[in-house]
Amino acid sequence: MKFLDEAKIFLQSGKGGNGCVSFRREKYVEFGGPDGGDGGNGGNIIFRGAKNRNTLIDFRFQQHFKAQKGKDGAGKKKKGASGNPIYIEVPIGTSIYNDDYSIKLLEVEDENTEIIFLKGGKGGFGNHKFKSSKNIAPKKANTGYPGEEMWVWLRLNLIADIGIVGLPNVGKSSFLKFVTNANPKVADYPFTTLFPNLGVFRYKDYQDIIIADIPGIIKNAFNGSGLGLKFLGHIEKCTHILHFVDISKKDIIKDYQTIRNELNKYGRGLERKSEIIVLTKIDLLSQKDCIEKIKLLKSYTRKKIYAISIKDKKSIDKLLTDLIKKRVNNININEEKWTPLKKN
């Protein structure tokens, strides 16, 4: 299934049905009086979270959603039937914005909740509602009230426990493929991953952990470079960030800085996320060179550094064990904010 994390759609709730002008007509009843019924209410537009959906691709093929009009009232004070609502199922984590993306109107966070987004128009009054001592035979009824309509943007932010970030081609997708049942495209060139990948792993007897591989973060991603800031938004709901750095590169501190700077500039809490630093591809260097680079990055960041290789299962097991401990024991280091030391 193709991934789409953004869509623009048109919504219109149903118009209310018209009230009816009618008079009671029965045998032996000469002046039956007004008995026109009210119109039915228009259908609502309702958003509903769907746990089994993880993309907005369906909205590429259908952009217009219009709820049913309420039925008109009838004689004998019969109220018209209300129009059928439109249920719009979206992935959990979907936010709804106004037409120009300036206001967040709603966020769908729970699959069990149905949220009325646009209310249908009320049905008009039948003529029996207008009867009075001065007008015992009114020939007046209301037309139904119009529904609401608007264009909105849907924006999907992935719901994951851990988000993997890093420059292109640092081994994020290979790691995700190794530890989960995800099947991302893997090759030795930048931007192999063109959209986020989700994977789930259960290590030993612990609970499931959802990992998201976030593509497209390069220098100036916060203002749209590369695949742009659209993918940075997918990290907002992650509890922890796995920051991958390719140990075989010449300047690992510069590579680390590049990603940290993008997270800081993007803001929205990303700069305060719990960060776990991982040096990848340790099989490409000698043990001596690996130790030197680990020490270099550790002295710069003042954080624990993990070093892994897809070819070394023990190195990955150590990382997974600590990830599980952080998740299960709810260890929270989100308040720490990265402050770079000057490079010697």
Q: Read off the pLDDT band of 254 (50, 70, 90).
A: very high
Residue with tokens 């217009």: 64
- Is the pLDDT reported for residue 321 higher than 80? yes
Q: What residues contact 102, with CB distance under 8 A and at least 6 apart?
A: none
pLDDT 10s digits, 272-310:
888 899 999 999 999 999 999 999 999 999 999 999 998
Q: Which of 47-56, 198-207, 243-252, 257-266 has the lowest mean pLDDT?
A: 198-207
Name the average pLDDT for the chain.
82
Buried b / exposed e across 316-332, counting CB within 10 Å, b at 16+?
beebbeebbebbeeeee
Higher-pLDDT residue of 271 and 242 is 242
Rounded-to-integer distance, Cα 41 and Cα 80, Å? 8
Tokens of 303: 């954080």
- pLDDT value at residue 186: 42
Q: Which of 84-88, 182-186, 302-306 has the lowest mean pLDDT?
A: 182-186
Q: Read off the pLDDT band of 190 (50, 70, 90).
A: very low
**What is the distance, to the nearest Å, from the Cα of residue 127 to the centroid of all Cα atoms in its chain?**
47
- pLDDT value at residue 90: 93
Rounded-to-integer distance, Cα 152 and Cα 147, Å? 16
- pLDDT value at residue 343: 44
Rounded-to-integer distance, Cα 144 and Cα 126, Å? 10
Mean of the pLDDT values across residues 187-214? 62
Higher-pLDDT residue of 207 and 185 is 207
The class level of CATH for 162-328 reads alpha beta
Mean of the pLDDT values across residues 179-187? 55
- pLDDT value at residue 244: 94
The class level of CATH for 1-156 reads mainly beta
Amino acid at the residue 47: F
Residue 96, phi then psi, degrees to nearest 5: -115, 125
Rounded-to-integer distance, Cα 8 and Cα 15, Å? 23
Mean of the pLDDT values across residues 307-314? 90
Residue 269, phi then psi, degrees to nearest 5: 90, -5
Q: Read off the pLDDT band of 189 (50, 70, 90).
A: very low
- Is the pLDDT reported for residue 202 higher than 50? yes
Q: What residues contact 137, with CB distance under 8 A and at least 6 apart?
A: 23, 31, 33, 34, 131
- pLDDT value at residue 344: 43
Number of residues that this document lists for the chain: 344
Residue 25 near residue 77 (C-beta atoms within 8 A):
no
Q: Read off the pLDDT band of 339 (50, 70, 90).
A: very low
Angle subtended by helix axes 313-328 and 172-179, to nearest 10: 80
Mean of the pLDDT values across residues 134-148? 93
Task: Find which of 104-108, 193-197, 237-241, 332-336 is predicted with most confidence, using mean pLDDT.
Answer: 104-108
- Is the pLDDT reported for residue 198 higher than 60? yes
Tokens of 35: 């008995």
Q: DSSP letter string over 206-236? A: SPPEEEEE-----TTGGGT-TT-TTTGGGGT
- Is the pLDDT reported for residue 226 higher than 60? no
pTM: 0.64
Q: Read off the pLDDT band of 335 (50, 70, 90).
A: very low
Tokens of 180: 């989960």
Amino acid at the residue 275: E
Rounded-to-integer distance, Cα 35 and Cα 57, Å? 50
Residue 162 near residue 210 (C-beta atoms within 8 A):
yes
Segments making up each domain of the chain, as ranges: 1-156, 162-328
Sign of CA dihedral 202, 204, 205, 206: negative
CA max distance for the chain: 109
pLDDT 10s digits, 34-45:
999 999 999 999
DSSP letter, residue 196: -
- pLDDT value at residue 216: 55
Residue 294, phi then psi, degrees to nearest 5: -60, -45
